[in-house]
Amino acid sequence: MSGFGLEFVESATGARLALRVMEAKAPAKAIVIIHHGLAEHGGRYERFARYLSGRGFHVSAHDHRGHGQTTAPDAPPRVYALKDGWSRLMGDARFVREHMQQRFPGLPVIVFGHSMGGVIAMNQAMDEHAHLAGVAVWNSNLALGSLAGLMRAVLWLEGFVRKQTEPSLWLNALTFEAWGKRVRKARTDCDWLTRIPEEVDAYIADPLCGWPASRLLWRDFVNGFERGEDGARLENMARDLPIHLAGGGADPATNNGKAVKILAGRLYNNRFTRVTMRHDPKARHETLNDIGYEQAMSDFADWAERIITEGRETP
């Protein structure tokens, strides 16, 4: 496939962002900004972008700090930044939103995030809800609670034997490696991602995917989890913001989809009026690369078209 053009833009944070943009093939209805997951990159969303383009959406996906082809003076590989990493990551997200709005003025903006990208999307919704038409949080665990403190403790202990810019082998073992072991009769260690062997093989063969994150990146990511679960920040969000959740019943990264249901319940309890959830009981972690991805893409586009038509009460 081609057409998901790679360009480089200078973010206000100082990062040189690897940004891919696909313009709408049909009359443009809105802008969709994609946030990718941990240890992957924006280029993996080309099929999704191509589909959305055909449905009338301008689409962007940038490689986050420490990922893919994005570089920054303060961001070694596999590190968001040497200082204030989560804040700088979110600064890039805001920059891309503003960049896309300047490029395609007058169109509503929808933010989509997968896994780590879902945590970014939720944080962006908390910060910028007045500027968004909707937010989609797919395959993300925003129900860590006390587990965030445990992750911090593990990172602190590992600090006695590893530098902060070195891979966190302990958290990698507790996450990616542990999730791989939860798939029965697995062909590879990455089968937890999807039931489609060709997609698993493509992920394994991609040199920009599957690497163990640094201790520093994990520490900053925990900050993102905690901010995304913060009750006070949730309370300050506009209740009419459309929020679309998706999870898989066989996704170990979200406790088989239970974390997604917990987030949905929390949003309902906080009087959010436009929450929808997509649950596939057999799906694994990467909904957009798993069996039934065609329907998943269609469901997202249908939701996006609907919320654009309905509009929002707040500006």
DSSP 8-state assignment for residue 54: H
152 within domain boundaries: no
Look up residue 71 and give its DSSP letter.
B
Rounded Cα distance, 285 and 192, in Å: 7
Return the pLDDT at 313.
66
What was the pLDDT predicted at 157? Answer: 97
CA dist 274 and 252 (Å) reads 27
Nearest to 288 by CA among 242, 241, 251: 251
Enter the tokens of residue 47. Answer: 């099929």
Q: Which residue do the tokens 């082998």 mark?
A: 169
Measured distance CA(252)–CA(83) in Å, rounded: 31
- pTM, two decimal places: 0.97
CA distance 263 to 269: 10
- Whether 247 is in a domain gets the answer yes
First to last CA, the chain: 37
CB-based contact 70:96 (threshold 8 Å)? no
Give the residue numbers spanning the domain of 245. Answer: 5-144+226-310
pLDDT of residue 314: 45
Q: What is the CATH number of the domain that holds 26?
A: 3.40.50.1820
Report if residue 43 sits inside a domain: yes
175 assigned to some structural domain = no
Does 168 map to a domain?
no
Give the pLDDT confidence score for residue 218 in this predicted structure: 98
48 lies in some domain: yes
Contact in structure between 80 and 66 (CB atoms under 8 Å): yes
Residue 3 confidence (pLDDT): 79
Q: What is the pLDDT along the chain (315 residues), one digit of tens a residue?
A: 457 989 999 999 999 999 999 999 989 999 999 999 999 999 999 999 999 999 999 999 999 999 999 999 999 999 999 999 999 999 999 999 999 999 999 999 999 999 999 999 999 999 999 999 999 999 999 999 999 999 999 999 999 999 999 999 999 999 999 999 999 999 999 999 999 999 999 999 999 999 999 999 999 999 999 999 999 999 999 999 999 999 999 999 999 999 999 999 999 999 999 999 999 999 999 999 999 999 999 999 999 999 999 998 644
Q: Say how many domains are in the chain.
A: 1
Is 84 part of a structural domain of the chain? yes
Dist. CA 240–CA 282, nearest whole Å = 31
Sheet containing 30-35: give its strands across: 5-10, 16-22, 57-62, 30-35, 109-114, 134-138, 243-248, 275-280
